[in-house]
Structure 1
Amino acid sequence: MEHLLKTLMEALGPSGSEVPVRTIIMKEIKPYVDELSVDKFGNLIAHKKGTGKGEKVVFVAHMDEIALMVKSVEDNGQMRISTVGGISPVTLVGQLVAVLDRNGKQACEGVVSFPELHEDLEINMLPKLEDLYVDSGLDRRALKRHGVEVGSYIIPSHHFRFLDSQKIFCGKAIDNRSGCYIVIELIKKLKHIKHDLDLYFLFSVQEEIGMYGAQVSLYTINPDWGVAVDTTSSQDSECISPPPDAITVGKGPVLVLKDAEIITNKCLDDHLIKLSKKHKIPLQIKVEEVGTTDATRIMLYKKGLPSTVVGICLRNIHSSVGIASIDDVNNTVQLLFALIKNPPKIGV
């Protein structure tokens, strides 16, 4: 199981270039679904038919990861950068990165730097994005021979690994390859299960830059309600005595009731809380002021649909390397499996 999560996390799939991730997912789920298609936008849509007695439901997990893009290349080879998705410049400093060619293959590696760090000068203030560059050791001409040019993607080079505990892991792209992994395992778990719901599993593109993939693919699926399977930030930085309700890595899946753009459906939320108690699955409840997910696109589809957000929390979200719990991942699979076996009667 962890091998698949490792494979997903280490795949190179920034927003707008998700093909490597999609290829892995297609291979994994093809034997377990009735229909599999890729739309013109690049979204992967899997369909598992129900008995015909239930509603049409979509589970969405986005395939893309935050990244950088080459904005310009100096004669000495320093690559100026633009962010692809929300990533704080301070988290990039000193990081090893992979620079991709136009075909999405690694062309070379580099290190993110800025002049004060480069020359061992006194650092008086945190660098801004425009101060940063990637140093590959190659000049402009050599980079061009390697296929690196304006528009090339740059991705952090952190690999999947467990920390001292075999339950806590770290790596790049936990947001949202963990969500992809959860949905894949959910599909596999349903192989011999009879269910009334007509199930669609959407692996969407370009979530990190505007949730565009989910927005367009919903017109193909036309669901009755949906769940976004995504990540959220943890609140457990106070190691000595975090608040009792702090969202904590290792304490279960997270149900988000509100974020910057959505108040999730109360009927769905209440039902998930009841299911977690019935099946003794730990569940954390979160209200936050920042960020949003593909659940917002579900909610705003046509005349509006019920939607909610379930997933894992992680430390260092939207940075080059995150930290999360494998138990939280597996418990999210169990919770969504219980939801499919015992779906709610959706109300407003």
Structure 2
Amino acid sequence: MTKLDETLTMLKDLTDANGIPGHEKEAREVMTKYIEPFADSIETDNLGSLIAKKVGDEQGPKIMIAGHLDEIGFMVTSIDEKGYLSFQPVGGWWEQVMLAQRVTIMTKDGYVPGVIGSKPPHILPAEARKKPVEKKDMFIDIGATSKEEAMEFGVRPGDSVVPVCEFTVMKNEKLLMAKAWDNRIGCAIAIDVLKNLQGVDHPNTVYGVGTIQEEVGLRGARTSANQIQPDIGFGVDVGIAGDTPGVTKKDALAKLGDGPQIVLYDASMIGHKGVRDFVVKVAEENEIPFQYDLMPGGGTDSGAIHLTANGVPALSITIPTRYIHTHAGILHRDDYENTVKLITEVIKKLDKDAVQAITFD
């Protein structure tokens, strides 16, 4: 087993934490633990997004770095007489990655293990076996024998249900597997950027933010950005890795290990040209690898940040990740570290003049 260094320990703690949209407390507490030593102050908005402030120049621009605390999961909607749970997806799920996967129900009395089940294929008609099982025909088995027993376990409608996948360093130790990379990796980046700014003069005030409810509509990004009123915003998230079998460059451009993705376009926002050009220039000057990408079918917190007040120039910077919106994702440690380095170097140069030039580019 790989011995975990300081960074890997933080990534494990962040990804092993459970927190679906609307129930991010556990993940927020872990992020608070790691970012507090590097922040001048910590607060939350009224929905629960974490806002860590680090002052360089109090009169300088306000720079927001946002990763979201929530992960996709489910919510218990009812318990049948035999003790099986019906559930509602919270965030985007594809049926084919759900069935027979382990889950954790977060009850008022603690964790209850379960597995997503359905009618077995052996008793289905031949035609039915060829089709994916629909979400409405799935249930969660917690080993209860009755509704009463399930309730004795502490389960109630409204309880959060979280995927199970322990943080794992793969045989190629640069590759890291976990649940919730989407988007605890963004939270980790915010932490390490503030860490890198310890004892460093920077001409601005930086806000490392863990937003809530991104997966159900970029909600925490909207409320936290409204509280901060940033001058420049960065949504840091996962992106699509296009280096698996069957994926062409027309489908997805990025490869694990080739650097952070600078997102030109997604369904929630067109990346601000001035911010993008500034980031690219910094990357090239510091010989930090990067990739361009676009996500016409997805969005990030930048989509809400850039519409704050009278508008915020914003850019999404993402980490190529395999198998997002499943129980187990894989990303490359070098991409994480290069993203931290890139955003740190960008912040060092974002003074009033730079922000003014960007705003009117």
Q: TM-score, normalised by structure 2?
A: 0.91
**Structure 2 equivalent of residue 194 of structure 1:** 201
**Structure 2 equivalent of residue 156 of structure 1:** 163
Evaluate the alpha carbon distance shift between residue 244 and residue 209 of structure 1 in structure 2; reply closer, same or farther with a 3 A threshold.
closer
**Structure 1 equivalent of residue 4 of structure 2:** none
- The number of equivalent residue pairs is 346
1:1-348 equivalences under 5 Å are 1-52=7-58, 54-102=60-108, 105-106=110-111, 108-117=112-121, 123-139=129-145, 140-238=147-245, 246-343=253-350, 344=354, 345-346=357-358, 347-348=360-361
CA deviation after TM superposition for structure 1 residue 118, in Å: 8.1
Distance 1:52 1:35 in 2: 13
1:248-267 deviations in whole A, cap 9, x for unaligned? Answer: 11211111110012101001
Letter in 2 for 1:317: I
Letter in 2 for 1:150: P
CA deviation after TM superposition for structure 1 residue 24, in Å: 1.3
CA deviation after TM superposition for structure 1 residue 91, in Å: 0.5
Evaluate the alpha carbon distance shift between residue 241 and residue 69 of structure 1 in structure 2; reply closer, same or farther with a 3 A threshold.
closer
CA deviation after TM superposition for structure 1 residue 241, in Å: 8.0
Letter in 1 for 2:335: D
Evaluate the alpha carbon distance shift between residue 26 and residue 241 of structure 1 in structure 2; reply closer, same or farther with a 3 A threshold.
closer
Distance 2:124 2:12 in 1: 36
Conserved in 1, the CA contact under 8 Å of 2:116 and 2:141?
A: yes
SS at structure 1 position matched to 2:269: coil
Evaluate the alpha carbon distance shift between residue 240 and residue 28 of structure 1 in structure 2; reply closer, same or farther with a 3 A threshold.
closer
- Percent sequence identity is 32
Conserved in 1, the CA contact under 8 Å of 2:242 and 2:251?
A: no
Distance 1:228 1:301 in 2: 13
Distance 2:57 2:139 in 1: 55
Distance 1:118 1:79 in 2: 22
Distance 1:261 1:241 in 2: 24
SS at structure 2 position matched to 1:203: strand
Of the structure 1 ranges 188-197 and 118-127, higher mean CA displacement relative to structure 2 is found in 118-127
CA deviation after TM superposition for structure 1 residue 153, in Å: 1.2
Conserved in 1, the CA contact under 8 Å of 2:62 and 2:206?
A: yes
**Structure 1: gaps spanning 5 or more residues:** none
1:253-304 deviations in whole A, cap 9, x for unaligned? Answer: 1111100121010011111111111111110101221111110111111121
**Structure 2: gaps spanning 5 or more residues:** 1-6
Distance 1:53 1:97 in 2: 48
Q: TM-score, normalised by structure 1?
A: 0.94
CA deviation after TM superposition for structure 1 residue 75, in Å: 1.1
Evaluate the alpha carbon distance shift between residue 54 and residue 240 of structure 1 in structure 2; reply closer, same or farther with a 3 A threshold.
closer
CA deviation after TM superposition for structure 1 residue 242, in Å: 5.9
CA deviation after TM superposition for structure 1 residue 340, in Å: 0.7
Of the structure 1 ranges 215-224 and 233-242, higher mean CA displacement relative to structure 2 is found in 233-242
Distance 2:265 2:259 in 1: 18
CA deviation after TM superposition for structure 1 residue 102, in Å: 3.5
Conserved in 1, the CA contact under 8 Å of 2:242 and 2:248?
A: no
CA deviation after TM superposition for structure 1 residue 163, in Å: 1.6
Of the structure 1 ranges 25-34 and 176-185, higher mean CA displacement relative to structure 2 is found in 25-34
Letter in 2 for 1:28: Y
Distance 1:259 1:245 in 2: 13
CA deviation after TM superposition for structure 1 residue 244, in Å: 12
Letter in 2 for 1:38: T
Conserved in 1, the CA contact under 8 Å of 2:103 and 2:161?
A: yes
SS at structure 2 position matched to 1:332: helix
Letter in 1 for 2:134: K
In angstroms, what is the RMSD of aligned CA positions?
1.9
CA deviation after TM superposition for structure 1 residue 53, in Å: 5.1
CA deviation after TM superposition for structure 1 residue 83, in Å: 0.5
1:328-348 deviations in whole A, cap 9, x for unaligned? Answer: 111110000110112243134
SS at structure 2 position matched to 1:333: helix
